[in-house]
Amino acid sequence: MGAGGEQPNHGKKAFAKLAFLASGAPEAEEARLRLVEKYSDCPPEEADCIVALGGDGLMLRTLHRFMGAGKPIYGMNRGSVGFLMNQYRESGLRKRLAEAKPSIIHPLLMHAVNLRGDEFSAHAVNEVSLLRQTSQIAKLRILVNGQERMPELVTDGVLVATPAGSTAYNLSANGPILPLDAPLMALTPISAFRPRRWHGALLPSAAKVRIEVLEAEKRPVSVVADHDEFRDLAYVDIEMDHATEMVLLHDPGHSLEERILREQFGY
């Protein structure tokens, strides 16, 4: 998910109005009903804070839905994967919100053009990934700030990840884990064939990356920004959207910054 850091705590009065969202899983929906009964509920547009009940998938959808709204989001784990979530507890919620540590997240902005000349734009909290569409391996050209850095990468794909997203697909592709406040993006190959020993690069968060598809008709490539996919890619431009901020709230000692640090030590 973007560079970020801890900000001063919100005061208790900021959380008078809460909106509860659930993933749709029975466990999450049951939790939502209990919390609404205990704390009441209001439309997300009127809420001081949005409480997301589910796993990381719901958190990503919630971040996308309210991107740019300036509303803090506090997740509680009622799903299978909860790296972005807090522990579920029904009591003392407003006290937990008042004491929570905010993390500021900036998404990636992707602008893609396909072989027909159609243009698409999308944000990505975690990563923008390019993937081969068929059995034909992809051939890609990589430019950073207009300068060619990789004339030909022969690979299954490549991705650009934010610090917050560096522990997701990027980590599975053997990319580096980035501290949340690092002004960096990770550029990571996915099963590179040539150059075989290239493991990627760390780029400044101000960098502008262009990835062009070589032999695009013979070797079609798709691009995915979190969950938005566009096929038959000609090229894609990727940069950090510093103008867009999202606020994640975590309990003291369990901030997103702390969780990413723990990942680097394997626990």
By residue range, what is the domain housing residue 92? 12-106+244-264
Among 96, 125, 131, 109, CA closest to 230: 131
Give dist(CA 63, CA 71) in Å, integer: 10
Residue 1 lies in a domain: no
H-type alpha helices, the chain: 26-39, 56-65, 93-99, 169-172, 256-264
The owner of tokens 């005061």 is 11
The owner of tokens 């695009």 is 216
Domain tally, the chain? 2
Residue 5 scores a pLDDT above 60? no
Residue 98 shares a structural domain with residue 186: no
Mean pLDDT of 28-46: 97
Residue 84 shares a structural domain with residue 135: no
Helix, strand or coil, per DSSP, at residue 39: helix
The owner of tokens 């997240």 is 105
Q: How far apart are the first and last CA of the chain?
A: 20
Residue 9 scores a pLDDT above 60? no
Residue 93 shares a structural domain with residue 146: no
Mean pLDDT of 46-70: 94
Residue 118 shares a structural domain with residue 91: no
CATH number, domain containing residue 149: 2.60.200.30
Residue 56 shares a structural domain with residue 86: yes
Residue 141 lies in a domain: yes
56 in a known ligand binding site: yes
Residue 132 shares a structural domain with residue 193: yes
Among 77, 75, 50, 55, CA closest to 65: 50
Residue 155 shares a structural domain with residue 233: yes
Residue 24 lies in a domain: yes
User: Cα 107 to chain center, whole Å?
Assistant: 7
pLDDT confidence of residue 218: 97
Within 10 angstroms of residue 239's Cβ, the number of other Cβ atoms is 20
Residue 164 shares a structural domain with residue 51: no
Which residues are marked as active site?
A: 56
Enumerate the β-bridge partners of residue 201.
187
168 in a known ligand binding site: yes
Residue 83 shares a structural domain with residue 196: no
Residue 121 shares a structural domain with residue 232: yes
- pTM (whole model) above 0.85: yes
Cβ neighbours of residue 77 closer than 8 Å, sequence gap 6 or more: 54, 55, 85, 86, 87, 88
* Pair 95, 194: CB distance under 8 Å: no
Show the tokens assigned to 99.
């004491």
Mean pLDDT of 106-126: 98
Residue 63 shares a structural domain with residue 130: no
Tens-place pLDDT, residues 137-190: 999 999 999 999 999 999 999 999 999 999 999 999 999 999 888 999 999 999
Residue 45 shares a structural domain with residue 152: no
Q: Sign (positive/negative) of CA torsion 21, 22, 28, 29?
A: positive
114 in a known ligand binding site: no
Q: What is the CA radius of gyration of the chain?
A: 20
Residue 2 lies in a domain: no
